[in-house]
Amino acid sequence: MGNAIEARGLTVELGGRKILRGLDFTVPAGQVTGLLGPSGCGKTTLLRCVVGVQQISVGSAQVLGVPAGSASLRSKVGYVTQAPSVYLDLTVRDNVDFFASVYGVSPSAATRALADVGLSERAGQKVGTLSGGQRTRVSLACALLSAPELLILDEPTVGLDPVLRRDLWVRFHALADAGTTLFVSSHVMDEAGRCSQLLMMREGSLIADDTPDALRAATGTDDLEEAFLRLISAEAPA
């Protein structure tokens, strides 16, 4: 399979500041690619470019063979934002049922999506009364319903307990095995090892684009957080 995303010289300037500094990268189809980097490095901005809701200043992003934001991508790209976009005054079940009807899938698919994110027992609860992590999972369940070709997840595991985090990563890989491309951001370096392919970012630039194993080999450490630090010190010697 080819690439789901191809970015060339991707540059975003906001308020006179370069937020993304001419990024070149590809995201292979049918795999889980991680976008790792500290808060404020530009992950959300990059994902928004791919989804087509952030204007690109210079360069380009091709998504599933067409320019990011093309109308034909609407039904093919799922996006779960960092701040969950679900209806707070509806129950969990009503939210997934609503999105199920929007995407034209059966109520049983909604039941399955709720189980996938571990929220079956919360089905009757209003989303507004859930914790932040639980709201993210409702958003994720809704995004899963559309069965997108490309699923973009902005820090989906923030605030989740370790068991649920692990279960979600297992679910991400199951989706990839079934042919979905996943592009998942995180600022938690211990999630890097769960990705098939890694993009590491710092201050608007990419410092690595590799598999976890290749990165470990290149930096001489098994610890991917340490690998990240070594890449930084190699880039800018003190």
Ligand X SMILES: Nc1ncnc2c1ncn2[C@@H]1O[C@H](COP(=O)(O)OP(=O)(O)O)[C@@H](O)[C@H]1O
Q: Is 40 in the site for ligand X (CB under 6 A)?
A: yes
DSSP 69: T
Q: Is 136 in the site for Mg ion (CB under 5 A)?
A: no
Q: Is 51 in the site for ligand X (CB under 6 A)?
A: no
How far apart are alpha carbons 111 and 119 in whole angstroms? 10
Q: How far is CA 52 from the centre of its chain?
A: 14
Tell which one of 10, 32, 41, 117 touches ligand X (CB under 6 A).
Answer: 41
Helices (H) and strands (E) in the chain, counts: 7, 10
Tell which one of 45, 57, 70, 111 touches ligand X (CB under 6 A).
Answer: 45
How far apart are alpha carbons 69 and 61 in whole angstroms? 9
Q: Which stretch binds ligand X (CB under 6 A): 1-9, 33-41, 158-166, 218-226?
A: 33-41
Q: Is 44 in the site for Mg ion (CB under 5 A)?
A: yes
Q: List, in sequence order, every beta strand (DSSP E) within 44-124.
A: 58-63, 66-67, 77-80
Q: Is 14 in the site for ligand X (CB under 6 A)?
A: yes
The answer to whether the CB of 56 falls within 8 A of the CB of 128 is: no
Considering CB under 6 A, how many residues would be counted as binding ligand X? Answer: 11
Q: Is 44 in the site for ligand X (CB under 6 A)?
A: yes
Residues that bind ligand X (CB under 6 A): 14-15, 19, 37, 39-45
